[in-house]
Structure 1
Amino acid sequence: MGFEATQKGNPHKLTINQHVFPKKGIDRFSDENGLVQLCRKEGAKVIRVSSTNSLFCAQRVWDQGTEAGIGKSIEDRFQALVDSILSGFTRVIGCFEKTVVEDFFSLWRTRQKLRAEGLDDFRLEGIEGDSLTKDEQEILERQHVMFCRDGVMPGRFAARMHVFGYMNTFRHDNQHMQWGIARAGEGEFIVPDCFQDMMIVPISPKLMIVADQPNSTLTRSEVAVINQTAIDRSTDYFFARSLSECPVYRDGPPRLHRMFAN
């Protein structure tokens, strides 16, 4: 599914490349050169890329209100929490932190679903919509206003409803879920494009937030289990600061042994 291009020069500064996992989160896994090692599952090729690489992005799959409004709000709260964890100030995921983590995890998973599947334009029965120029449409979207064209609403506007809907459902379904901070005692963590149904949020090469687990320090074998899960759950790619520092199952296929060999 293609994306709707903006006017030449993108005069209203609409976000075209939309990060699924936040740029700031990817940067925490970067090396001294500002790069991460990324493995594309198709062809199992490892490349070194920065957080601005288009592989990390959807192209205008959700509207500007979803990107710069609700999405940014959720991201900002989560990044503030991560900074607090990394500084040692926050050591427990309590009631307040739980909501922040769960809203972010739901946003991440919803973005990945939207990136993979997209949203078709849809007709609103009984609504014709105004006749708007391209410039007027972009001005409205920049102001987080939805619009129709001849009774048809661009699919990206429905993303806002999906984000809210999935977030509320996730909160309701996991009211009693507790989260813990897991530290890698040995090795480093792999980040998938999404963990799908596994409620795990990596925040640095050595730290992640995990559902239904107490705060803990993981052995190398336990890190390997999580990293294998990250690989298995990923759709298109996974990345890390250094894949050679990330243990995976020892009984994995030889190809994985070669890929992660020191």
Structure 2
Amino acid sequence: MGFEATQKGNPHKLTINQHVFPRKSIDRFSDESGLVQLFRMDGAKVISAASTNSLFCAKRAWDQSTESGIGKHIEDRFQALAQSILAGSTKVIGCLEKTVVEDFFSLWRTRQKFRAEGLEDFKLEGIRGDSLTKDQQEILERQHVMFSRDGVMPGRFAARIHVFGYMNTFRQDNQHIQWGIVRAGEGEFIVPDCFQDMMIVPVSPKLLIMAEEPNSTLTRSEVAITNQTAIERSTVYYFARKLASCPVLWDSPPRLQRLFSK
């Protein structure tokens, strides 16, 4: 599904490239040059990529309100928690932290769904729509106001409804789930474009937050199993600070294994 382009020059600064997994989270995996190693599944090759790379983004799949409103709120809360864990100030995922982690995981998974499937425009029965110029439409969206055209509303405006809906359902379905802070004793973690059904939230090359797992330090073999899970759940790409530092239980051809030993 294509995306709706803005006016030339994007005068109202609407976000076009929308990160599915946040830039700040990607940056924690970057090397001294500010890059991560990313494996593109379509071409079976490894590239170096900055967190600004469009591969990490959907193109205007959700509206500006979802991007800079609810999405930013969830991200900001999670980034503060991640920083607190890395600084050693937060040592357990308690009730308050659980909500922060689950809202973030739900947002990540929902954004991935928007990128993969898009949101169809929908007709508003009994509403004729607004006579608005392109400029007026963009001003309204920048101000977090929805609009319709000839009784049809752009699908991206439904995103905020879906975000809240999926988030609330996720909370209800996982009321009794506990999360643990999991560290890699040896090796580093791989980040998929989304963990899909596996409730794992990457924080840094050596740290994850994982559901139904107590605070623990994983052996090299356990890190390899986690990384294999990340690869299996990936659809477009996966990345790490340095893929050669990430053990994996390989069941793929030696040709692919050699890509990570360079």
TM-score w.r.t. the length of structure 1 is: 0.98
Mapping for residues 1-262 of structure 1, pairs under 5 Å: 1-261=1-261
Question: Cα gap change, 1:251/1:132 in structure 2, threshold over 3 Å: closer, same or farther?
Answer: closer
Aligned to 2:176, the other structure's residue is in SS state: coil
- The residue type equivalent to 1:86 in the other structure is L
Aligned to 1:127, the other structure's residue is in SS state: coil
Distance 2:168 2:254 in 1: 42
* CA displacement at 1:6 relative to structure 2: 0.7
| Deviations 1:152-197, CA, capped at 9 Å, x for gaps | 0001001111111100000000000000000000000000000000
Distance 1:225 1:198 in 2: 13
8 A contact 2:38–2:47 mirrored in 1 = yes
- The residue type equivalent to 1:37 in the other structure is Q
RMSD over aligned CA atoms reads 0.9
* CA displacement at 1:43 relative to structure 2: 2.2
* CA displacement at 1:129 relative to structure 2: 1.5
8 A contact 1:247–1:260 mirrored in 2 = no
* CA displacement at 1:120 relative to structure 2: 1.1
Aligned to 2:177, the other structure's residue is in SS state: coil
* CA displacement at 1:252 relative to structure 2: 4.3
- The residue type equivalent to 2:110 in the other structure is T
* CA displacement at 1:254 relative to structure 2: 2.1
- The residue type equivalent to 1:134 in the other structure is K
* CA displacement at 1:250 relative to structure 2: 4.5
Percent identity, aligned pairs only?
A: 81
Distance 1:113 1:250 in 2: 28
- The residue type equivalent to 2:3 in the other structure is F
Aligned to 1:210, the other structure's residue is in SS state: strand
Distance 2:172 2:252 in 1: 37
* CA displacement at 1:258 relative to structure 2: 1.7
Q: Which runs of 5+ in 2 are unaligned?
A: none
| Deviations 1:123-176, CA, capped at 9 Å, x for gaps | 011111211111111111001111111100001001111111100000000000
* CA displacement at 1:251 relative to structure 2: 4.6
Distance 2:109 2:230 in 1: 14
TM-score w.r.t. the length of structure 2 is: 0.98
